[in-house]
Amino acid sequence: MACPDSVTTKNLTGKLRLNKSLSDSVDQTLKLQGISYLMRTAISILSLTLELNHYTDDAGVERIDIKQILSGGLKAPDDNLVINNEDSRRDDHIFGPLVINPRRTKVDKLEIDFLKEGWTEDTHEDGVIYCVVRSDTEKTGKDWAVHVVIVLGTGLTECILSGLLSVEGKKVLHIDRNDYYGGESASLNLTQLYRKFRPDQSPPTELGRDRDYAVDLIPKFIIASGELVKILVHTDVLRYLEFKQIAGSFVYTNAKISKVPSTEGEAVSSPLMGLFEKYRAKKFFVFLQGWKEDDPATHKGLNLDKLTMRQVYQHFGLEPGTQDFIGHALALYLDDDYLNKPARETYERIVLYTTSMARWGKSPYIYPLYGLGELPQSFARLSAIYGGTYMLDKQVDEIVLNDDGTFAGVRSGDETVRAKMVIGDPSYFGAGKEADGGRLRVVEDGKVVRAICILKHPIPGTDGSDSVQIIIPQNQVNRRNDIYIAMVSSTHKVCADNIYVAIVSTIVETSVPEKEIQPGLQLLGPIHEKFVTVSPIYTPVSDGTQDKIYITRSYDATSHFETVVEDVQDVFKRVMGKDLELKKREADFDQ
């Protein structure tokens, strides 16, 4: 609109004419609001003049009477705005049923940054009339209100980001096509488990009640001193969860299962190493424990940023079996690529493991009661507290783009929701297939095979432990990648009494994935039920900073959540333009 200098936000009385040569196209916005092509074409052709009468009534309420005249003498319905910061409902001949909330507000209180720019000094003093208009969802079933961020999928990565962004003050709309939280990282009850893997079969009654089960689709444990715990503490999500320590950490070497020592006494008696090798390993661990960054005397002439881990092992004369134990059971590497990289990262991983172990002994891992699916639900609760909106069982039919290829909104059926950006898991963006006019947004970067096994006994060789992690280093079974076994039980409220749930997983290397996990399956003893899945690992092809489409990575084969948190931190920085800074507080776990 064009108006003379005499017009102020305190007196808008007069005629205002729409200057289309200075205006942006509204076609895409109207399309998102469900306006038909013919009506959008008519709006683009016709010019609009408003006759305004701006006054304060006898009750002291600010009002604006509006007459709308279209080019050619056509007249649109009159309107009346009551500037009282209260919702009013009306039917519009173009947009249908609406909810309108006009208010006078200071410029610096506006929610959208670019609207704060270019105002005169008197406007900053008097404020502006800010009118929020939205579809009357109760009548239309549609919502075309603008959200700052739309998040697609309720996997752990997406829910952590949703919670963090909500805490940062972002308006978040979170959508999932499933009727449950968790996505790939969900925990399913018995009926859901069979529906997913054996849709033509009902769960056997002998397995107990449906409600007793929360079976994880992704087998991961939480490292007690790791980054996920820091986020749980930082956001206070810890208060929604209860944890229990995993009873034991084991490693498969020399064709048998051995406990990873958690005390000096266990280390002395452990069969993992011979007597002389234990002496050499002790020197290695004493070196790591004594390392101080600012004290060169503790470095013993070793530069962890220049020497590879292989060279450090050689310096201490450690045998290949000991290297396997340190690199895979303590540093938790999937393969041996780390041997040719600077030793710094391995040092930090070992420190993380040992400090986590030191918190309680037995193992460095903790696990939430009622399954890993509790994690995304807890972060969803955090988001909701800060104004986030969740919509489950909502199909996503289209990622709507602007003419320049940037993100505009999400369409579900006849309903389209607009936002400035979108964050989502790869399944919403083609999952390796061409989409969006032939553009490839995600690519496959390997596969993970997982076997969910229901047992009626603890895993043999683990001292009857009710929960364990067993790592099978790749060199022990002539592979390139480790095999992981994670087992939990009724102690963790994830299955019926006297039932144990073990998940065996690894990165796929051949055309027969299930055969690759046989070394792990053979350690379980008799298997009552088994559900095998092969899942592609997808990674985004771009970082999203140009088109505002931020795609998270698939869950990898690691046994912990550290790589998940790395993805969260990476996406958060790209979205917010700053690092995620976490409060330094001690975790108060209720065990």
Name the more confident of 194 and 2: 194
Task: Give the ranges where 220-262 is alpha helix by DSSP (H).
Answer: 227-235
Q: Report yes or no: 334 and 507 within 8 Å, Cβ to Cβ.
A: yes
Residues 317 and 383 in one domain: no
Q: What is the mean pLDDT of residues 5-24?
A: 80
Q: Report yes or no: 380 and 155 within 8 Å, Cβ to Cβ.
A: no
Q: Report yes or no: 496 and 455 within 8 Å, Cβ to Cβ.
A: no
| CA dist., res. 75 & res. 199, Å (int) | 60
Average pLDDT for the chain: 87
The three-class DSSP label of residue 492 is helix
Picking from 294, 282, 311, the residue whose alpha carbon sits closest to that of residue 302 is 311
Q: What is the mean pLDDT of residues 387-416?
A: 89
- For 129-166, the DSSP string reads EEEEEEE-HHHHS-----EEEEEE--SHHHHHHHHHHH
- For 403-422, the DSSP string reads TTS-EEEEEETTEEEEEEEE
pLDDT exceeds 60 at position 184:
yes
Residues 74 and 117 in one domain: yes
**Residue 221: pLDDT band by 50, 70, 90 thresholds?**
very high
Query: Which pLDDT belongs to residue 591?
Result: 47
Q: What is the mean pLDDT of residues 376-396?
A: 89
Please report, for the domain that includes residue 555, its CATH number: 3.50.50.60
| CA dist., res. 45 & res. 421, Å (int) | 30
Q: What is the mean pLDDT of residues 299-312?
A: 93
pLDDT exceeds 80 at position 265:
no
Q: Is residue 332 part of a domain?
A: yes
Residues 374 and 272 in one domain: no
pLDDT exceeds 60 at position 436:
no
Residues 184 and 308 in one domain: no
Q: At what angle do helices 562-576 and 227-235 cross, to 10 degrees?
A: 50
pLDDT exceeds 70 at position 590:
no
Q: Is residue 173 part of a domain?
A: yes
Which residue, 307, 325, 352, sits at the end of a domain? 352
Residues 40 and 91 in one domain: yes
Which of 183-192, 261-270, 576-585 has maximum average pLDDT?
183-192
When mean pLDDT is compared across 99-113, 291-305, 352-366, 406-420, the lowest value belongs to 99-113
Q: Is residue 303 part of a domain?
A: yes
Residues 106 and 35 in one domain: yes
Picking from 510, 484, 575, 540, the residue whose alpha carbon sits closest to that of residue 166 is 575
Q: What is the mean pLDDT of residues 526-544?
A: 95
Q: Is residue 460 part of a domain?
A: no
Please report, for the domain that includes residue 323, its CATH number: 1.10.405.10
In this structure, the strands spanning 248-253 and 468-472 are parallel
Residues 177 and 270 in one domain: no
Query: Which pLDDT belongs to residue 72?
Result: 65
Q: Is residue 495 part of a domain?
A: no
DSSP lists the bridge partners of residue 251 as: 258, 471
Q: Is residue 181 part of a domain?
A: yes
Q: Report pLDDT digits (tens) over 69-95.
A: 877 666 677 888 899 988 888 887 777
Residues 318 and 412 in one domain: no
Q: Is residue 361 part of a domain?
A: no
pLDDT exceeds 80 at position 266:
no
Tokens of 77: 């319905």
CA 211 from chain centre, in angstroms, equals 26
Burial of 418 (0-12, 13-18, 19+ CB in 10 A): buried
Which residue, 126, 145, 164, sits at the end of a domain? 145
| CA dist., res. 222 & res. 444, Å (int) | 26
Q: Is residue 21 part of a domain?
A: yes
Residues 64 and 200 in one domain: no
Please report, for the domain that includes residue 61, its CATH number: 2.40.128
Residues 430 and 331 in one domain: no
Cα radius of gyration rounded to whole Å, the chain: 30
CA 227 from chain centre, in angstroms, equals 14
Number of domains in the chain: 3
When mean pLDDT is compared across 34-38, 108-112, 221-225, 384-388, the lowest value belongs to 108-112
Residues 334 and 190 in one domain: no
Tokens of 132: 């929020």
Query: Which pLDDT belongs to residue 42?
Result: 75
Handedness of CA 457, 459, 464, 466 (dihedral sign): negative
Burial of 34 (0-12, 13-18, 19+ CB in 10 A): middle
Residues 27 and 126 in one domain: yes
| CA dist., res. 150 & res. 44, Å (int) | 29
Query: Which pLDDT belongs to residue 77?
Result: 75
Beta strands in 425-563 (DSSP E): 442-455, 468-472, 483-489, 500-507, 529-540, 549-551
Q: What is the mean pLDDT of residues 536-549?
A: 94
Contact residues for 198 (Cβ-Cβ < 8 A; gap 6+) = 531
Provide the greatest CA pair distance for the chain. Answer: 100
Domain around 201: 153-205+370-442+538-576
Percentage of residues of the chain with pLDDT beyond 90: 54
CA 39 from chain centre, in angstroms, equals 39
**Residue 139: pLDDT band by 50, 70, 90 thresholds?**
confident
Which residue, 127, 145, 163, sits at the end of a domain? 145
Q: Report pLDDT digits (tens) over 254-264.
A: 889 998 887 66
pLDDT exceeds 50 at position 359:
yes
Q: Report yes or no: 422 and 152 within 8 Å, Cβ to Cβ.
A: yes
Q: Report pLDDT digits (tens) over 545-582.
A: 999 999 999 998 888 898 899 999 999 999 999 999 88
